[in-house]
């Protein structure tokens, strides 16, 4: 009888140790999984790093460019944040800017994800085309107005800004009136302030194409 009791006690102690061991294993497993999820990888952190090349390219409107992923675990998948400027092939990483109007200039983030969830990002910029603006420059004396006309724009609106090439000048900047395809600049006589050189920048509101002209105003 005593031997039986001793065996039962030993068995109970053994079960208790095994139960504690199971709890510890389960706890460590949960901690490991949480760490892996925090890394964004459900399979646990990988030993390789995925890197996109090129990391910040520029292309002209209508152009293409192929991104390459180095490192990581195949297969990889590609995506882009701004489809207004173009599209990317999810399998090959080939970026194609929009081929038909409106061809929009701008930037987007390109993301690659590998088979175990590792990621990298790059930034691509589609460059604007130059706007045709006439006259390209103008010299005026005293107060008056000058009209700049855009040709070849989308016809869906313009945005215009003006700045003085002399940032310390106290001359009051001219006013701008925009009525696509024209931008009218109304300026005052600079008088004692002397000759003023002004840059007017005009941007197509739809496709981002941009151009700049110079207006020089001298005292009458």
DSSP 180: T
Contacts of residue 134, defined as CB under 8 A and 6 or more positions apart, other chains included, come to 148, 149, 151
Out of 30-34, 63-67, 77-81, 131-135, least confident range? 30-34
Segment 169-181 mean pLDDT: 98
Cβ proximity of 160 and 176 under 8 Å: yes
Domains of the chain: which residue ranges? 51-127, 132-218
Q: Tell me which residue of 43, 48, 42, 53 sits closest to 121, measured CA to CA.
A: 53
Domains 51-127 and 132-218 equal at CATH topology level: yes
Cβ proximity of 65 and 58 under 8 Å: no
CA 59 from chain centre, in angstroms, equals 14
CA 137 from chain centre, in angstroms, equals 33
Segment 88-95 mean pLDDT: 99
User: What pLDDT does 117 receive?
Assistant: 97
Quote the percentage of the chain above a pLDDT of 70: 78
Give the Cα-Cα-Cα angle 185, 212, 62 (nearest 5 degrees).
135
Q: What's 51-127's CATH class?
A: mainly beta
Segment 147-171 mean pLDDT: 97
178: left (phi over 0), alpha (psi -120 to 50) or beta: beta
User: What pLDDT does 2 receive?
Assistant: 58
User: Does the pLDDT of residue 32 top 50, yes or no?
Assistant: no
pLDDT digits (tens, 9 = 90+) for 42-69: 555 555 699 999 999 999 999 999 999 9
Segment 181-204 mean pLDDT: 98
pLDDT class of 3 with cuts at 50, 70, 90: low
Pick the more confident residue, 53 or 12.
Answer: 53
Cβ proximity of 104 and 85 under 8 Å: yes
User: Does the pLDDT of residue 111 top 60, yes or no?
Assistant: yes
User: Does the pLDDT of residue 23 top 60, yes or no?
Assistant: no
Q: Is 6 exposed, middle or buried (0-12, 13-18, 19+ CB in 10 A)?
A: exposed
Q: What is the mean pLDDT of the chain?
A: 87
- 132-218 maps to which CATH number? 2.60.40.10
User: What pLDDT does 160 receive?
Assistant: 99
Cβ proximity of 153 and 209 under 8 Å: yes
User: What pLDDT does 37 receive?
Assistant: 40
Segment 11-37 mean pLDDT: 47
pTM of the model: 0.73
């Amino acid at each position: 009888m005593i031997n039986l009791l001793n065996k039962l006690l030993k068995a109970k102690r053994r079960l208790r140790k095994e139960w504690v061991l199971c709890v510890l294993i389960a706890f460590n497993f949960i901690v490991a999984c949480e760490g892996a999820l925090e890394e964004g990888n459900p399979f646990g952190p990988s030993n390789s790093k995925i890197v996109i090349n090129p990391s910040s390219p520029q292309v002209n409107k209508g152009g293409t460019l192929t991104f390459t992923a180095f490192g990581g675990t195949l297969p990889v998948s590609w995506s882009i944040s701004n489809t207004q400027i173009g599209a990317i092939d999810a399998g090959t990483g080939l970026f194609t800017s929009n081929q038909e109007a409106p061809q929009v200039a701008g930037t987007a983030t390109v993301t690659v994800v590998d088979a175990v969830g590792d990621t990298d990002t790059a930034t691509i910029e589609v460059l604007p085309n130059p706007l045709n603006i006439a006259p390209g420059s103008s010299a005026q004396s005293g107060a008056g107005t000058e009209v700049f006309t855009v040709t070849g724009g989308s016809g869906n609106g313009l945005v215009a800004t003006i700045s003085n090439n002399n940032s310390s000048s106290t001359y009051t900047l001219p006013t701008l009136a925009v009525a696509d395809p024209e931008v009218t600049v109304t300026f005052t006589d600079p008088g004692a302030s002397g000759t003023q050189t002004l840059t007017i920048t005009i941007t197509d509101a739809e496709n981002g194409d941009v151009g700049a002209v110079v207006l020089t105003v001298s005292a009458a």
